[in-house]
Amino acid sequence: MSQTANVLEIKDLVKDFPSVRAVNHVSFDIKRNTIHCLVGENGAGKSTLIKVLTGAMLRSSGALLLNGEEYWPHSTRDAKEKGISTLFQELNVVDQLTVAENLTLGMEDTRFGFLRATDKISAMVSVMNSLEPSIHPKMLVSRLSVAQKQIVEIAKAVATESDIIIMDEPTAAISEGEIKRLFTIVKGLREKNVTVIYISHRLDEIFEIGDYVTVMRDGRHIGTKPVSEVGDRSELIRMMIGKTVFEQYTPKAQACKDPLLVVRNVSNHKLHDISFDVHEGEIVGFYGLVGAGKTELARAIYGVDEYRGEIRFKDRRLSPSPDKAIQAGIALVPEERRSQGLFTVLTIRGNVPVMNMKKISRSGFVNASQERKVTREYIDKLRISTSSTEKEAAKLSGGNQQKVVFAKCLFADADLLMLDEPTRGIDVGAKSEIYGIVRRLSEEGKSILIFSSELPEIMNICDTIHLLFDGRLKATLRNGCDIDNEHVLHIVTGGDAP
Amino acid sequence: MSADVPAPRKTVLAGVSNETFLTFFMIGVLVVLFAVACLFVPNFYLLQNIINLFSNYWFVIILGIGVTFLLITGNFDMSVGGVVALTGVLSVWFCQGYNVSQNALANGLGLPYGAAVALALAGALCIGAVNAFFIARLRVPSIIVTLATMMVARGIAQVITRGAQRNTSLPDVFGVIGNTFIPGTSVKIAVLIMVLLVAAAYVVEKKTVVGRRTYLIGANATAARLSGIRVSGHLALLYMVSALLAGVTGILLASEYKAGLSSRAMGYEFDALVISLLGGVSIAGGFGSVLGMFVGAIILAVVTSSATGLLLPPDWQFTLKGIVTFIAILAQRFALDRRKG
């Protein structure tokens, strides 16, 4: 194998989807035996680029040179054989098997269909030992921590002589101590002739372990630099956000009434000591990156997850159960539309009245004409494009599905509406319609909490913005013209609040 | 022969829901099977035979109601056959005379018939409560829990009957309800109860909030919970109702035979499941109907009784039943896919 200086060269790479160009003429090189970081906001095109590199998706055009040779992976397995392994956030280990069995999984030596103990296992195990002697090969993987499972996967990649290991947010789910251990191992990989492509939202990590950093934005390559030449976090943040132009926002006059929702010192497995108030008619945004605790906060308020601390709504403590929350006047548009919000096999009529059956029934009997009437009313009100109330929800477009989930929550007559990633995966037109609905609701006196990882969304419609990082509420801002994007990104990527 | 197949034409049924479509499709299958049976089996078309088709399966249809509702939520109830045996045996044991004989199997608790029935139904509800607790509360997969309670219920019946049956020293009143006929017909009162229960189940399924919740849970249990439906409470209710229906069946059968038999209703849980599936209930939940289940039961009745009419040996009947069920369900899925595509 020729030892070129660049292990991977990406040349003019393009990946198109039906409506959007996710990777737009990206070119950069990755030097051999380095740790190359890849950063960018959500939707910058990192994931798509990685999917092309690992063979999960085919590129639209452009070239990839791996060790100086044309590289065109057809599948993740193909990519692995050519030397690119990936450590996904969803780890690829089998809990019920031992460490040693996992290491050789898919490459077992057999004779007549029976497993054979061979050198391969001991070779694997010795790599494993050199990385992390504390993991015993006979241990069941289910008993390992997430970080230890990652190390098993790294060992497997090293032992199969991968040239490149791609790590997708490996520190998102592990503790501080384990992060340190992982970093030691990742740094050590350079001596084992392995190049690491490291993706993270936590900018501090890049300065700690990165040799090079590439910034992407809106599908484009913004720049690649040695980390030593990057001045500080703010320089990276500037590259990440560029000149984002936001719609002009005029904040409402602050209401001086008693707060509708009071959250005090709420903590659980993910949240740490969160406190805030919400007033009538207020639109409150929670901004943070993936894993910051937004969904967990919404679930705690809604009574799905347990918590310590106090949540009071209309001056009363909430019982920890969604049906009690709905009765009290809270409704949630959940993060995952299809799996948590929508009944896809049912019709629109079957979906809309679900959260408030009392309104369409009398002594337990459903009033069918009333049901159809309200469904039609909401189809008109939210402009859901459908031929009839009897259309299966699964057959609607993403935006229209989201509107059905909205209709469901609006029909609950809630005073507090919680929207978790309300516009994820829907097109621009439907997005602005949903913002319009939110503004209208707030004018009607409803309070709205928006949990989002898209900054423009938060800046567009929220009166108050809370910034979350690692389950903590780091800062609270009043929206207005003086919001500093750099400052916001500085905080949600783990920087200290001033 | 294919000419008289009432092929589901898109033009006619385009506007109806998938569920109505499937019910019509299975009625079509039923009509074809009936026509074929009339061609080959002598006297199959006689009114009396048609009445028999409806009345010979009343017990499986009553069990099918509970099983269908649970299947729509995405859960199984395999315990119903066991509960039938248990309730029947309990009602006999409670009702048998106290200390009237040397034979232990002839001695019971000597309770009045009404009390015996009430207590036997309470026994059925206990099995339902065990199902509800483990499935709704502790979220143990329903197939595991109800297979266990199926065996436990039948096991208790075996202990009480010492593996045989109890049929002596019963008051005359015990045999009344199971052997009363609708005046002027040869149709038992149990068949009438079955028809009333199916009608009631249809109303609950289509017209009430309880029915809606059943579909919602089957369609998406997570979304149902986040939409404020108390999923475990609802499942518990359905398991109790299913056990109660099985209990009623057990009482009626015990009365008909004036005996408590521990092997009664062996395999009925599978028949109930099969007729639900024949009626188009989706094993994944969220789809199906009691009416479809009823049609499924009649299909199974036509197949079984024409096999008997053709003097097919019983061993072959079982195989035939299996093959017809399999083909019918495949045809159903195929028709539904064609419609969607």
Segment A465-498, tens digit of pLDDT: 999 998 999 999 887 756 777 788 888 888 776 6
The Cα A239–Cα A222 span in angstroms is 7
Residue A348 is classified by DSSP as H
Phi, psi of B159 (to 5 degrees): -65, -45
Q: How many residues does chain A have?
A: 498
Q: For chain B, give the mean pLDDT.
A: 90
Q: How far apart (Å, rounded) are the C-alpha atoms in residues A175 and A182?
A: 10
The pLDDT score that the predictor gives to residue A1 is 44
- The pLDDT of residue A251: 60
Q: What is the pLDDT of residues A396-448, one digit of tens each?
A: 888 889 999 999 999 999 999 999 999 877 776 777 788 888 988 998 989 99
Nearest to A354 among B208, B211, B216 (CB): B216
Hey, what amino acid is at B173? V
Cα torsion angle, B292, B293, B298, B299, sign: positive
A347 beta partners? A392
pLDDT of residue B294: 95
Distance from C-alpha of A7 to C-alpha of A212, rounded to nearest angstrom: 14
pLDDT, tens only, B100-139: 888 888 889 999 999 999 999 999 999 999 999 999 999 9
Supply the angle between the helices A368-381 and A398-411 in degrees, to the nearest 10. Answer: 120
Q: Distance of alpha carbon B23 from its chain centroid, rounded?
A: 18
CB-CB under 8 Å, B208 with A365: yes
Instruction: Write the DSSP string, B231-298.
Output: HHHHHHHHHHHHHHHHHHHHHHHHHHHTSEETTTTTTHHHHHHHHHHHTT--TTSS---HHHHHHHHH
A17, A23, A25, A27: CA torsion to nearest 10? -150
Closest Cα of chain A to B339: distance in Å? Answer: 14
- Which pair of tokens denotes residue A75? 């599948």
10 Å Cβ neighbour count for A446? 22
The DSSP-derived string for A242-289 is -SPPPPP--PPPPP-S--SEEEEEEESSS--SEEEEE-TT-EEEEE--
Provide, rounded to the nearest whole percent, the portion of chain A with pLDDT above 90: 37
The more confidently predicted of residues A343 and B332 is: A343
- Say which residues have a Cβ less than 8 Å from residue A40's Cβ, sequence separation at least 6: A46, A215, A216, A217, A222, A240
pLDDT above 90 coverage of chain B, percent: 63
Torsion of CA B169, B173, B178, B181, to 10 degrees: 140
Min Cα separation A457/chain B (Å): 24
- Across the range A217-236, mean pLDDT stands at 87
Size of interface A-B (CB pairs under 8 A): 78
Distance separating alpha carbons of residues A117 and A2, to the nearest angstrom: 34
Q: Which residue of A has its CA nearest to B219?
A: A343
Check if the beta carbon of residue A459 is closer than 8 Å to that of residue A483: yes
| Whole-angstrom distance, CA of residue A225 vs CA of residue A232 | 12
- Average pLDDT, integer, range B331-338: 78
Residues of A with CB under 8 A from a CB of B: 302, 304, 321-323, 325-327, 332, 334, 339-347, 350, 354-355, 357, 361, 364-366, 368, 390, 408, 412
Q: How far apart are the first and last CA of chain B?
A: 27
Positive or negative, the Cα torsion across B235, B238, B240, B246? negative
Residue B43's region, left for phi above 0, alpha for psi from -120 to 50, else beta, is left
CB contacts of B226 in chain A (<8 Å) are 302, 304, 322, 332, 334, 340-341
Kindly identify which residue of chain B lies nearest to residue A358, measuring between CA atoms.
Answer: B209
Strand (E) or helix (H) holding A21:
strand A21-31
* Three-class SS state of B307: helix
* A244/A247 Cα distance (integer angstroms): 10
| B159 half-sphere exposure, CB direction, 13 A CA radius | 6
Please list every residue in chain B whose beta carbon sits closer than 8 Å to the beta carbon of residue A354. 212, 216, 224, 227, 229
Q: How far apart are CA A271 and CA B98, in angstroms?
A: 65
What secondary structure does DSSP assign to B69-89, as a single string? Answer: HHHHTT-----HHHHHHHHHH
For range B55-82, the mean pLDDT: 95
Q: Please say if the pLDDT value at position B8 is more than 50.
A: no
What is the nearest CA distance from A17 to chain B, expressed in angstroms? 25
Q: Do B154 and B21 touch, CB atoms closer than 8 A?
A: no
Q: Judge: A334–B226 Cβ closer than 8 Å, yes or no.
A: yes
- Would you call A456 helix, strand, or coil by DSSP? helix
Interface test with A, best of B21, B226, B281, B283 (most A CBs within 10 A): B226
Q: Which residues does chain A have within 8 Å of residue B225's beta carbon, measured at their own beta carbons?
A: 304, 322
Q: Identify all chain B residues contacting A334, using CB atoms and an 8 Å cutoff.
A: 223, 226
Distance CA B115, CA B112 (A): 5
The answer to whether the beta carbons of residues A392 and A345 sit under 8 Å apart is: yes
pLDDT (0 to 100) of residue A219: 86
Res B341 pLDDT > 60: no
Whether this prediction's pTM lies above 0.90 is answered by no
> How far apart (Å, rounded) are the C-alpha atoms in residues A196 and B275?
58
Does B208 contact chain A (CB < 8 Å)?
yes
Q: For residues A167-179, give the mean pLDDT.
A: 80
Cβ distance A331 to A406 under 8 Å? no
Q: What is the mean pLDDT of residues A125-142?
A: 84
Per-residue model confidence (pLDDT) at position B9: 45
Determine the residue of chain B that is closest to A337 in CA distance: B223
Contact B29, B335 (CB under 8 A): no
Substitution target in B227, B232, B281 with the highest count of A β-carbons within 10 Å is B227
pLDDT at B6 over 60: no
**What does pLDDT average to over chain A?**
86
CA–CA separation, A145 and A129 (whole Å): 17
Picking from A322, A350, A390, the nearest residue to B228 by CB comes out as A322
Pick A386 or B296 by higher pLDDT: B296
List phi, psi (to 5°) of A54: -95, 5
Tell me how far CA of residue B150 lies from CA of B162, B165, B249, B251, in angstroms.
18, 19, 15, 17
Q: Is the pLDDT assigned to residue A245 strictly greater than 60?
A: no
Q: Would you call A38 helix, strand, or coil by DSSP?
A: strand
Closest CA to A361 of B37, B211, B30: B211
Nearest CA in chain A to B204: A365
- CB–CB of A365 and B207 under 8 A? yes
- The answer to whether B212 contacts chain A (CB < 8 Å) is yes
From residue B19, alpha-carbon distances to A380, B254, B280 in Å are 27, 36, 8
Give the Cα separation of A435 and A454 in Å (integer): 13
Give B211's contacts in chain A (Cβ within 8 Å): 366
Terminus-to-terminus CA distance in chain A, angstroms?
A: 52
**Main-chain dihedrals φ then ψ at residue A9, nearest 5 degrees:** -120, 125
Contact A482, A246 (CB under 8 A): no
- The helix (H) or strand (E) run that includes residue A85 is strand A84-87
pLDDT-based confidence at residue A253 (cuts at 50, 70, 90)? low
* pLDDT above 90: residue A310: yes
In the three-class reduction of DSSP (H, G, I as helix; E, B as strand; rest coil), residue A359 is classed as helix
pLDDT of residue B325: 81
Would you say A152 and A135 are in contact if contact means Cβ atoms under 8 Å apart?
yes
Q: Do B238 and B229 contact (CB within 8 A), yes or no?
A: no
B213 contacts on A by Cβ (under 8 Å): 357
| Residues A313, A261 contacting (CB under 8 angstroms) | yes
Beta strands in A301-383 (DSSP E): 308-313, 316-317, 330-333, 361-362, 365-366
At residue B104, the 3 state secondary structure works out as: helix
Q: What is the DSSP-derived secondary structure letter of residue A338?
A: I
